[in-house]
Amino acid sequence: MESLVPSLFCLLVAVFVGVLFKRWGLTSSALPYPPGPKPRLISGNAHDLPKAHAWLTYTRWANQYGGVYHIREYHQHIIVVNTLKDAIALFDRRSQIYSDRPTSTMVELMGWEFNIALIPYGDKWRRHRRLFQQNFKKEASLTYQPVQTRKIHEMLYSLLTDPEDYALHYKNLAGAIVMATMFDKHISLADVNRFSTAVERAVAKLSEAFLPGAFAVNLFPFLRHIPSWLPGAGFKRLAKECKAYTDAVRNIPFRRVKEKMASDAEVVGLAARLLEKNDEKGGQAEAEEDIKEVTATAFVGGAETTVSVFGTFFYAMLVNPDIQRKAQEELDTVIGTQRLPAYSDRGALPFLEAVFREVMRWHPVAPLGVSHATSDDDVYNGYYIPKGSVVIANIWAMTRDESIYSQPELFRPERFLDDKGQLNDDDTVLAFGFGRRICPGRHMASATVWLTMATVLSTFNITKAKDMNGNEISVSDDYSGSLVRHKLPFACSITPRSPEARNLILEAQDTAHDGI
């Protein structure tokens, strides 16, 4: 009997070692993982993972370990991709492997599982992607331009009459455009404020829970079953708070559309059009749920990310007055001062287009994008990348790549122009993502941002605010450290460029409600 003890001990050791190999990252592959910071035996790099402004830490590690490196959080492998070349090689050229999303218990508990950006690769994602492609491709996005134009003109009037609340006005604009196009063009400002605030709060809470190292329940899903009163169960309270907001955004606007349609009231928006088509096919329940989730996703994505871009635009113009004047000179030369810019002018304004590209590069909306996951084992540049790895596109590092963007911290639209002042071929907006997971609403978002920039610069000067003593108020470079990055509040002065500009705004406001 005693002879069995050593054998049993060896068996237990073998099982333990096997678990370590499989679960804690000790690969039996002949190939190594990509280089990275040295992990501890059990926890890996869990104690090294940053809690805020993670892209700065990841970029510092990139300078040390290279364009693609490996970290481990307990049994979860994490691959960080830091160069555009590697991102294209993996996310675009190997999209069949790199198009999944990481499994996240918190995403489910928070009610975010409806969002195409977070849905795992599979049948549901394909259905949602098909709807997005049909209704948000470049040609289809042209149908939204009349609503976009009207809402932008309304914002100009708000800036004219209440310039101090400029940030509130561009926040309302972002929400109003997507709510009007997705649900009802007659949406009230009160509803825009209500649902935009819900989106803002839901995304803020998602930021707390999504990135590696945020909550143990993402690594150990069984923890979801522990009582909420236990120490360490704070994630359950956070998830409950978030779900109240995601449920409101997901369900209430859509329910209102259905109620208005049932009462034969006029409803002009994508949700109503898709519901009518679905009714013609017999009213399939799964299709209706897809319509609800796709329109809610479009609202969430369009409202929150566009607000981030607008904040960077106003900040960039404030601290770069020479660039602001140069863009205004181009607008005056090409368009004149007798009308507002229109979408048809875009191709004739190369410097303004360069400003757009630089705004999108300088402070990217989501510096780490949305994490991908591998659906199979892979080998890249001689390194082993296991199935189920979380793969992060470090967009911040890509926009700071000095081999592509010299002096990357400076706001320099000229980097997108050739010697003749025409646009070069660098038209990739990294903030929109990569491969099959590229932002499906990018054409609509680009159009909204561009026309807002064009009309604001045509009609207003953005300068530093002054205190009671006439001294200019300095502005910091501070941004939030969340998943979707926002410029922190700052004071500025927004004034009409001329009496003619003021009249154009008033005329546009008078005709804004004439119908689309």
Annotated binding site for heme: 439
DSSP string for residues in 399-462: HT-TTTSSSTTS--GGGGB-TTS-B-S----GGG--GGGS-TTHHHHHHHHHHHHHHHHHHEEE
Q: What are the tokens at 309? A: 């871009």
Residues facing 461 on adjacent strands: 495
User: SS3 sequence, 62-99?
Assistant: HHHHCCEEEEEECCEEEEEECCHHHHHHHHHCCCCCCC
Q: How far apart are CA 152 and CA 174, in angstroms?
A: 9
Tokens representing residue 492 in the block: 């500025």
Structure tokens at 420: 């003749």
Reported as type and span, the H/E element at residue 195 is helix 189-210
Q: How many CB atoms lie within 10 A of CB 511?
A: 10
3-state secondary structure at position 463: strand
How many Cβ atoms are within 10 Å of 23's Cβ, its own excluded? Answer: 12
Of the candidates 311, 102, 53, 104, the one whose C-alpha atom is nearest the C-alpha of residue 206 is 104
| Distance of alpha carbon 462 from alpha carbon 166, whole angstroms | 11
- In the β-sheet with 390-393, what is the strand arrangement from edge to edge? 68-73, 76-81, 390-393, 372-373
For the chain, the straight-line distance linking the first and the last C-alpha, in angstroms and rounded, comes to 89
DSSP code, position 473: P
Dihedral (CA of 53, 58, 61, 67) sign: negative
The number of beta carbons lying within 10 Å of the beta carbon of residue 103 is 14
Using DSSP, state whether 483 is helix, strand or coil. Answer: coil
Q: Residue 82's closest CA among 52, 60, 107, 105?
A: 60
C-alpha angle 437-484-482 in degrees, rounded to nearest 5: 130
Q: Which 8-state DSSP code applies to residue 376?
A: S
- Contact yes or no for 462/317 (Cβ under 8 A): yes
Annotated binding site: 439
Cβ-contact 160, 502 below 8 angstroms: yes
> 285, exposed or middle or buried, with CB in 10 Å at 0-12, 13-18, 19+?
exposed
Beta bridge mates, 80: 69, 392
